[in-house]
With several copies, the nearest count.
Chain A
Amino acid sequence: MKEDKEFDIETIEQKAAFIESVLFVSKEPVEPEKIMTFFKCKNIKDFEEILSKLTDMYKDSERGIILKRSGGGLQLVTKIGMHNLLNDFFKIKKTSTLTIPSLETLSIVSYKQPVTLAEISRLRGVNSVGPAKNLLQKKLIKISGRKRVPGLPALYSTTKEFLLYFGLNDISELPSIEELTEMFEEKEQPSLFKQIQNENG
């Protein structure tokens, strides 16, 4: 019979092991600050050392998971490339779920936030109540305030779930419009877009 001997968190290895078990049991990303507080570790460098130990460990060929930073926290996810195998194994089809109207609406909210529904509809050229509702239900956007104009319409912003869903740590990680243009430039027809940008400043 094994004794339920208490685990120590003294050495770097033990700390790495503890972090693995914490991340293993929690379904949401865990804030690094929380772990540091728990370790009474004040030096970020020490903490980063433990994390890089973990990261290295997951590089081993017999490991199926990796350490990822998402939504401002640490999270374990499966290795890239496992996707199709897992789909086959579980006989399920894990696919993306957002429709183009929802994604368009989300683009507007993410770049123009806080923004009203009327403005979203205007920019999309079509009524956007449906996609907005869908995104609210999925918790990808939220009401973040009211615009101080007659009728006090709701203002929408992105949520933490938005960051998680798209694997971002912070909204600032989204590329700027300029960067975006470059990203899509090659595939696109002679830069429609760059000129507009230059002229509009």
Chain B
Amino acid sequence: MYSEIYEIQTEFFEGPLDLLLHLVNKKRMNILDIKVSEITSEYLDYLMNKRGINPSRESDFLMTASTLIYIKSRSLLPAPEIYNEDSLEHKLINTLAEYDKIQKITKLLKQMENDEVLLWKREEVSENFETREFDIKEISSFQLAEVFLNLIKKKDKEEFVNINPRNYSIQKKQEEILEILETKGYLNFSEYIEMLDSAEEFLVAFFSLLDMVKRGVIIALQKRLFDTISVWKNGKYKIAQ
């Protein structure tokens, strides 16, 4: 089963190393014996005809092409570059040898994956398994980060729209709060601040509240930390004016 998929990959090259390895294997050469100049023309041929080239990776293929051409041109010079550890050719061949190893590991993982797929786990099949709760053990730190990224993206969009700056006065805010208390008799402060437009408005509202509590206009209660602040009009308070 894996070989099928693997075949597909060797026909359609994900990247330049993929193609190079294919060319080396085709020639039945030992990676370490490759004369880069010998496979350069074939590589370029592939690139010209776009045979099996992943279009989104074209720039990667071109980069390697320029390296190949450079190596080949050096080899044609009367005094070719000495083949040493630092030479471009040596580096390329080493990378290719590494890549060959990775291909082997990949084959193994593919086999292991296919073996595991054959074993079904408990409750693997269900028609309706949508849930809004996560088990905390099942959340990775990466998911946590994703949640945060989505939040700030959403917020960025919102704040883009919200561009009319306003000035808030404590006077006006107090009148607004009193009006709500007049009609409803009670104010849930947490719910109230949710409707506010900005942090600035929130601050003004909060100061207004503090000021009115201090002057005895209203009574504010908070049962415990984080609970909402419940606000009532103080019946005993007589408007001075």
Contact = CB atoms under 8 A, between A and B. Distances in A.
Direct contact of A and B (CB under 8 A): yes
Interface of A: 1-2, 4, 21, 24-28, 68, 75-78, 80-83, 86, 90, 92, 94-101, 103-104, 106-108, 110-111, 117-119, 121-127, 129-130, 132-133, 136-137, 139, 142-143, 150-151, 159, 165-168, 173-175, 177, 180-181, 183-184, 189-193, 195-197, 199-200
Contacts of B152: 123, 177
B142 A175 contact: yes
A132 B226 contact: yes
Interface in B168-193: 190-191, 193
Interface stretch (B10-18, B71-79, B82-90, B213-221): B10-18
Q: Max chain A CB contacts within 10 Å: which of B103, B124, B190?
A: B124
Interface residues of B, number: 93
Contacts of B142: 136-137, 139, 142-143, 175
Given A107-B147, A165-B113, A195-B30, A143 B141 contact: yes
A106 B109 contact: yes
Given A110-B148, A142-B142, A193-B104, A90 B194 contact: no
A135 to B, nearest CB: 10
B8 interface: yes
Q: Max chain B CB contacts within 10 Å: which of A193, A195, A197?
A: A193
B49 interface: no
B8 A196 contact: yes
B137 A110 contact: no
A166 B101 CA distance: 19
Contacts of B98: 123
A39 B19 CA distance: 49
B120 A25 contact: yes
Given A27-B121, A107-B145, A97 B28 contact: no
B141 A175 contact: yes
A175 B145 CA distance: 7
B32 A189 contact: no
Interface of B: 4-6, 8-9, 12, 14-18, 24-25, 28-32, 53-57, 60, 64, 95, 97-127, 129, 132-137, 139-149, 151-152, 154-155, 158, 190-191, 193-194, 199, 202-203, 206-207, 225-228
B14 A193 contact: yes
Contact of A167 (B29, B53, B55, B119): B119
Q: Max chain A CB contacts within 10 Å: which of B103, B106, B142, B226?
A: B142
A100 B30 contact: no
Contacts of A110: 105, 109, 144, 148
Given A83-B120, A129-B226, A193-B54, A142 B133 contact: no
Contacts of B103: 104
B97 A200 contact: yes
A183 B95 CA distance: 22
B105 A180 contact: yes
Given A123-B95, A189-B28, A193-B101, A77 B120 contact: yes
Contacts of A174: 108, 141, 144-145
A103 B109 contact: yes
B28 A25 contact: no
A103 B139 contact: yes
B125 A80 contact: no
Nearest to A119: B199
Contacts of A106: 106, 109, 144
A167 B12 CA distance: 30
20 contacts: A25-B125, A27-B121, A27-B122, A100-B132, A103-B139, A104-B103, A107-B151, A110-B105, A118-B202, A122-B95, A123-B151, A143-B141, A175-B141, A177-B152, A180-B108, A184-B146, A192-B55, A196-B12, A196-B97, A200-B5
Contact of B106 (A96, A100, A167, A192): A100
B12 A193 contact: yes
Contacts of B115: 1-2, 167
Contacts of B6: 100
